Amino acid sequence: MKNINSQFAYETHQLMEGADVRLSFSGEFSPDLITVLLSMAKSNIGDKLVMKKVYNVMIECLENLTKHSLKIEGDQFPAIFLLGKDDEYYFLATGNKIASNEVNELETKLIKVNSLNKKELMLWYNEILTSETSSSFKGGAGLGIIDMALKSGNRFEYNFNKIDNYHSFFTLKVKVGQK
Amino acid sequence: MKSLRVKKGDTTPELDFDVDKMEFLLEGESRSEDVLIFYEPIINWLTNFKEWFLKNESSKKLDFHFKLEYYNSLSAKFIFSIFKILKEMQVKGLEINVFWFYDVLDEDLLECGEEYEKILGFKFEYIAL
């Protein structure tokens, strides 16, 4: 029998406070919720320049969560989103379940994005933008992840945590500079 | 040819393609996840508009005011399609002025405009707000 004691809320709060988390949600992400989270993030970040960058990256992050989270019947917590602040950066962190057989493709893509500089990322972006495969909009043809890297200006940090043979939990941290 | 107007939605921009004045406007945010539903009719309308223009050269000048503050990566391809059609009209002799508005702090948005410009060989006017 699971029995969470009342300290759980305190401990979670302490954990969030310690990591300077400004905004978080764990559960199912609906379009209405995304609108609310975005407007909260807007009012939370004072610096307009940073806010615009965070806003851009955040929309792509949340879209990825709604699009790519593995939906398992009865699962109340398919994904988590956090917006927080490190010493020098705002960070956006997401976590979602994915099928294990998708790990390789995603990791290959992340390695590629992390290996490219701004100019190379822009070239790749333009290549996809102008390609004729305009009917394959399901995943945005991969523009989102390149866009996030361009707006962030920092390398992605990520991890895949094995849940069982068929499922993994994918975490991604995107930093947005203060400048 | 009738003008095309679409009111602003939660995740979709306001659109006003005024054929009488030959002034087109796209304003707000474009972050819908159903981009195809939003943009497909617009692209179709523009394609018809292009045909109509080629047959009916009553006005040779069109001003396009691009005032999107934010667009997601899903919208980017459709925006590219819009500019592509405009470019095709320019090649056919229509004078097309694209005014790209951006927040003076938002260099990313300025860069996005410059990229479209470069790819399409299209000269934009930039207006910092």
Question: What ipTM did this prediction achieve?
Answer: 0.89
- Total count of domains within chain B: 1
**What's the pLDDT tens digit per position in A31-79?**
899 999 999 999 888 888 899 999 999 999 999 888 888 877 778 788 9
Main-chain dihedrals φ then ψ at residue A178, nearest 5 degrees: -85, -45
**Do the Cβ atoms of B108 and A53 come within 8 Å?**
yes
Quote the percentage of chain A above a pLDDT of 90: 68
Quick one: closest CA in A to B69, which residue? A52
Average pLDDT, chain B: 93
Let me know if residue A2 belongs to a domain.
no
A156 domain-assigned: yes
Could you tell me if A47 and A178 are in contact, meaning their C-beta atoms sit under 8 angstroms apart?
yes
The reported pLDDT for the residue numbered A136 is 47
Nearest to A140 among B74, B81, B119 (CB): B74
Alpha-carbon span B95 to B63, nearest angstrom: 8
Q: What residues form DSSP beta bridges with B62?
A: B96
Using CB atoms and an 8 Å cut-off, which of residues 9-28 of chain B contact chain A? 10-11
- How many domains is chain A partitioned into structurally? 1
The answer to the question of residue A144 being in a domain is: yes
For residue B99, the cross-strand partners are B65, B125
Query: Looking at the domain assignment, is residue A1 inside a domain?
Result: no
Q: Which domain holds residue A51?
A: 7-177
pLDDT value at B37 more than 90 = yes
CATH of the domain at B95: 3.30.750.24
What is the domain range of residue B111? 4-128
A168 has pLDDT over 60: yes
* B78-110 pLDDT, tens digit each: 999 999 999 999 998 889 999 999 999 899 999
For the cut 50, the answer to whether the pLDDT of residue A135 exceeds it is no
- Per-residue pLDDT at A139 exceeds 60: no
Residue A90 belongs to a domain:
yes
CATH number at residue A16: 3.30.565
Most A-contacting residue of B70, B74, B80, B102 (CB-CB within 10 A), to test interface: B74
From the CA of B5, how many Å to the nearest CA of chain A? 24
